[in-house]
Amino acid sequence: MQHPENNEEYKGLTVNSGVEQPAIVNPYLQRGRFARHRLTVDDYVQGILKGNVTMLGQAVTLVESTNPQHQQLAQEVIEKCLPYSGKSVRIGISGVPGAGKSTSIDEFGVHVLERTGGKLAVLAIDPSSEKTKGSILGDKTRMEKLSVHPDSFIRPSPSAGSLGGVARKTRETIILCEAAGFDKIFVETVGVGQSETACHSMVDFFLLIQLAGTGDELQGIKRGIMEMADGIVINKCDGDNVEPCQLAARQFRNALHLFPAPESGWLPKVLCYSGFYGLGIKEVWDMIFEYVDFVKGNGYFEHRRAEQAKYWMYESINEQLRNGFYNNETIAALLPRAERAVLDGQQTSFIAAKHLLDTYFGLLK
């Protein structure tokens, strides 16, 4: 339970420690090495507010660190950045592996930066990344253009912890990015599970990338994920694949009609495009901008953000209640034995839980 770093008390706050995948930022923007001396909260905040991406990357590393000192520093930085956050459009992008997410994000990103200026941050939620060592955004060559674009910041998924923890870290990273002036945020997830719900809980527009199939393409994706989508886009619509894509689009449109009307009042659209050949990218963005105008007009944009904030209040509470318990040194020491006793049938799960809780609440007194 305890992070090995915690034992090295005299270790400085070197922000790289404990993190396997540093941010992918344009290398030409990184002047010199990471500062090795202790940075203060204000150092981070000032750096972020100036749009310094190296400082932003280091602050995100603090957010992702499991070291309690780093965590506290991160929370202070976030609190100071909060008043400067919120002024972005947050777009969730999901799709099963093989749907061409990286290429698409590259094209979507370059297009919107050329079209509207501003800055783009690409983040990810992938709780499996610890196992697979970064299946998402792990390979910077997969976003060839964005990875060297001066106005982009690409960050792989936090690689440690539960989905809840990973998602919280991504949400906190959004705040830092917005404070650093990023007005467009992508949050990428693999379209296979609960990460989508977490992603949906922090974005304004949820885009689902699909592929054409043979009528059974709806099987691969869970209904619940389709229901969350504000837009579905069918990738690889080029060459011989144009007709199958248009057929798939019709099938998705039909399927969407079977779902209950979304709270936003917006009927999700289905479009075809080709990430590889850069076709139809403009139309995808037209859709997103149309959506944003629509929900800003009817008040749903603000409503959704407020509901998300409420959701995150409860998530924060629940996560911190669990952390307080599981990170308690006495509990962490007792837990393996309790687990063993339950697995061996020497103790019931209820009694084991009760003993641990009694111990914990006794310690708090």
Q: What is the DSSP string of 274-288?
A: BTTTTBSHHHHHHHH
Q: Which of 118, 205, 198, 120 is nearest to 157 (CA)?
A: 198
CB-nearer residue toward a second copy: 49 or 218: 218
Shortest distance in whole angstroms from residue 119 CB to a second copy: 22
Shortest distance in whole angstroms from residue 254 CB to a second copy: 11
Residues that bind a second copy (CB under 8 A): 75, 78-79, 82, 172, 193, 215-216, 218-220, 222-224, 306-307, 309-314, 316-318, 320-322, 324-325, 338-339, 342-345, 348-354, 356-357, 361, 364-365
Torsion sign over Cα 167, 65, 75, 363: positive
CB-nearer residue toward a second copy: 22 or 161: 161
Q: Are strands 269-272 and 231-235 parallel, antiparallel or unpaired?
A: parallel
CB contact at 8 A, 178 and 86 = yes
Shortest distance in whole angstroms from residue 43 CB to a second copy: 21
The number of CA neighbours under 13 Å toward the Cβ of 197 is: 10
> What CA–CA distance (Å, rounded) separates 138 from 239?
29
> What CA–CA distance (Å, rounded) separates 61 from 18?
9
Q: Which of 316, 330, 9, 49 is nearest to 169 (CA)?
A: 316
CB-nearer residue toward a second copy: 150 or 299: 299
Q: Are strands 152-154 and 24-25 parallel, antiparallel or unpaired?
A: antiparallel
> What CA–CA distance (Å, rounded) separates 56 from 63?
11
∠ at Cα 179 (175, 184), nearest 5°? 75
Shortest distance in whole angstroms from residue 164 CB to a second copy: 11
CB-nearer residue toward a second copy: 4 or 324: 324
CB-nearer residue toward a second copy: 76 or 238: 76
Shortest distance in whole angstroms from residue 260 CB to a second copy: 13
> What CA–CA distance (Å, rounded) separates 353 from 347?
10
Name the amino acid, one letter, at 32.
G
CB-nearer residue toward a second copy: 116 or 318: 318
> What CA–CA distance (Å, rounded) separates 20 from 260?
43
CB-nearer residue toward a second copy: 192 or 242: 192
